[in-house]
Chain A
Amino acid sequence: MNNRFRNIFFLAMLVGQVAIAKYYQSLRLNVDLLYLVIFYVATKSGFMKSVISASVIGLCSDYLSGGIMGVFSFSRTLAAYLLNIIARFLDLKKNIFVFLLILLSLFLSNVVAFIFYALIFKYRVTTSLLIYQPFFTALIGTVILGLKKVKSLLDVS
């Protein structure tokens, strides 16, 4: 049951991200739902799974964002590594820690991506990447992963 719900959860995140990427201009909603998958895998699984899945999901993010391939893959891999280490020492039953962890890790990951975009490719990066996206993603992530029902189904508690 948990596995099925997990797969549904992953699929929902993917579909949601595709929809956001497609209607980004009209929705003006900058949320990285795929990062929640990375967060979940990094906190639940071992090193190899989290790093490799982060790299693959990062490539998907690159594709959906229409940017440079490899940038988000690089930054998300580092974030997954960070999450995988830090999650051991935090009590993720408390939603505030989930929120803060998602917010900070996504912020740092986006900073790395920002360095590539701004300094190497001379892209003009807005504050939405560094501030709004981590905040909204952390908010949505806390809501989704903080629900008791979801917690029980996902077997994260």
Chain B
Amino acid sequence: MPYNPERNELSAEKKSLVLVIILFLDLILISSQIILRNKHSLLQTIIANMITPVQLTIQKSSDFVSSELDRYFFLRNVFKKYQLLKKKQIDLKIENYALKKQIRELNVPKGVQGKFAHFITATVIAVDVNFPYSSLMIDRGLHAGLAENDVVLNSDAELVGKIVAPLTAFSASVRLITSSIGGTGAYIEGNMLEGLIKGNDGPDCHFQYLLAGKTVLLGAQVITSGTDLIYPNYLPLGRVTQIEQDYLTQKILVRPYFVDKPLKKLVVLTHE
């Protein structure tokens, strides 16, 4: 049986390629029937191992793209929104400030409204138990702009006293006009007789240096004169409650208005 070659013989490379392809197909067929321990065929496992990285890459890429898209859509108008919110915040701040101002104005005592340009409201936080007519403490201090010798009134704009040391950031001492220390220049409102009001750590004050010949009516109103350069003039102070004639002068007792009123809210006239 001699060899009878074909006319169109293939090249060695093509022959090898055909042989390899046929053998490869056979191997694929065989591998599809080899069952591994994971109960999958070898072919399935090979395909899975080949596809899994591609699948993972595609999945990761799609996750990345979708998250970036989400971020983009989420952040797309964020600057505009930020500016709108900032504007809203500023509006709210202004509104808040206006409301606070309204509340402040509502809390301002009626007697003080319109009379003074610069004042601060304060609350009494402590009273000296031993000398209740000497001094007390309020809840405002240096932080609120208070200074020594600031005038303190009650809610009806009647004289109470002045700020004295010690002053802290959030508290201050008030020396009452009924204190035995210091004095207040005052007029009898009816005839403008001037004298010095001095306290004695009690509820009443003495009107000193008023000559005996001058007529003073019981119940006359006493106001500040402003000559002590501490208190402004024409602030209501109290009423004459008792008059006694002395050798050259009159002994007049004055009852300050604030003594008979509750001392809770005070008004401090700050420096202008």
Contacts and interface: CB of A to CB of B under 8 A. Distances in A.
Interface of A: 43-49, 51-52, 55, 58, 68-71, 73-74, 77-78, 81, 87-88, 91-93, 98, 116, 120-121, 145, 151, 156-157
Contact of A46 (B1, B9, B23, B26): B9
A92 B6 contact: no
B114 interface: no
Interface residues of B, number: 21
A156 B3 CA distance: 9
B9 A88 contact: no
A55 B26 contact: yes
A21 B25 CA distance: 25
B19 A81 contact: yes
Given A70-B29, A81-B19, A120 B10 contact: no
Given A55-B26, A121-B34, A156 B1 contact: yes
Given A87-B3, A92-B2, A98-B1, A116 B30 contact: yes
Nearest to B26: A74
Contact of B22 (A51, A88, A120, A157): A51
A92 B1 CA distance: 4
A97 B25 CA distance: 32
Nearest to A77: B22
B26 A77 contact: yes
Interface of B: 1-6, 9-10, 15, 18-19, 22-23, 25-30, 33-34
A154 to B, nearest CB: 9
A71 to B, nearest CB: 6
A47 B33 contact: no
Contact of A51 (B1, B4, B5, B18): B18
B33 A69 contact: yes
Contacts of B29: 69-70, 73
Nearest to A87: B3
B1 A77 contact: no
Contacts of A81: 19
A87 B19 CA distance: 18
A60 to B, nearest CB: 13
A43 B1 contact: yes
A52 B25 CA distance: 12
B30 A43 contact: no
A92 B28 CA distance: 35
B22 A52 contact: yes
A87 B1 CA distance: 9
A157 B1 contact: yes
B22 A44 contact: no
A47 B30 contact: no
A80 B213 CA distance: 156
B2 A77 contact: no
Given A48-B10, A87-B3, A157-B1, 5 more contacts: A44-B4, A71-B26, A73-B29, A81-B19, A98-B1
A94 B18 CA distance: 31
Contacts of B23: 74, 77-78
B27 A88 contact: no
B34 A120 contact: yes
Which one of B1, B3, B9 has the greatest number of beta carbons of chain A within 10 Å? B1
